[in-house]
Structure 1
Amino acid sequence: MAADLEDDSEAVRLLVARQFASLSWNEGRTADWDGFSADFLPGAMLFPAARPVASRTVPEFVARMKHLSTTTLPALEEEVRGMRVTVFGNVAVAAVACAVVENHAAAEETVEMMLLVKNEGRWRIAAQAWDKAGPDNPVPDSLLGSPRPDRVGI
């Protein structure tokens, strides 16, 4: 049972890392839009940091980001700075501290939360939401430099 939890936690961590890598691009490299989309369940929703809150489907989000990548956002780099993964059976939550660099400017920090489900042996994202960090909303210390997953076993 412990080995299964470790395997599942590692699979979620790899999925998260793949997500951030696929949604990074610059003048010499395009994003992996198909790879990004493939890790979501059909009907999955994304909730960007902008307020008032507005949900986006994965196709809507990808279409917007594709457009931005050819207009006002020719470079976007995302880097995982820390992560907490909690797995219970076929459900998991990943909390991710991320550095985001837009158009080679100074890095901004975000925290992203993902709800994942496992079906037919594969983890996929059911929902994802994020918010920007700042002086009044710092990234929790518990996320920074903590790449190992939390394990829940009952």
Structure 2
Amino acid sequence: MQSDAPTPDDDKKAIAELIARQFASLSWRPGAPADWAAFGADFHDAAVLYASARPARPQSPAEFVARMQDLSQTSLRSFEESPLGIEIRVFGHVAVAVAACEAVENTTETGRTVEMMLLVKEAGSWTIVAQAWDKATPSRPVPDALLSAFGQPPQ
């Protein structure tokens, strides 16, 4: 007897698609704005985000979007973010995802971050309930194993 229930691989695929959508929607350049609505749609209503700045300060997805919209009109005229590696763990209706990404700011400044997301599945869909990230540095590079998880050569 065949089941129509999603498998863990189906869940991982759905989460990987959500992460790809996040990176794609949060990229912009003059004449091509970010898709702020698509970015916000993947978050739970009560989600909280923690940027790399310290001390850590919680913000809602709406607060984060407002800040990025302001930056996109002033000092951050372009922002292109792409995933370098993703690791996903699923158990039932909860999951964690670790994503390494590279961002190019104002077409010249390149940096890498590692983002960690906590997700829940409700009504058949995955949403992000918490996300935090930190910047990679020469003394704290993106782990090779995370880059390898996406088929990228280690840095």
TM-score bucket (shorter structure): over 0.9
Gaps of 5+ in 2: none
Distance 1:72 1:94 in 2: 30
Distance 2:69 2:44 in 1: 20
**What's the offset of the Cα at 1:142?**
1.3
What TM-score do the two structures reach when normalised by structure 1? Answer: 0.92
**What's the offset of the Cα at 1:3?**
6.1
**What's the offset of the Cα at 1:147?**
2.9
RMSD over aligned CA atoms reads 1.5
1:59 counterpart residue number: 62
Distance 2:84 2:148 in 1: 7
1:115 counterpart residue number: 118
Gaps of 5+ in 1: 149-154
Q: How do 1:10-49 and structure 2 match up within 5 A?
A: 10-49=13-52
Distance 2:56 2:48 in 1: 12
Worse-matched range after superposition: 99-108 or 113-122: 99-108
1:8 aligned counterpart, secondary structure = helix
Which structure has more relative contact order (CA 8 Å, sep 6+)? It is: 1
What TM-score do the two structures reach when normalised by structure 2? Answer: 0.92
Aligned partner of 1:86: which letter? R
**What's the offset of the Cα at 1:107?**
1.5
**Residues 105-145 of structure 1: CA distance to partner in whole angstroms, max 9, x if unpaired?**
13101000000000000000000000000111110111103
Q: How do 1:79-118 and structure 2 match up within 5 A?
A: 79-118=82-121
1:136 counterpart residue number: 139
Give structure 1 regions of 4+ aligned residues with deviation exceeding 6 angstroms.
none
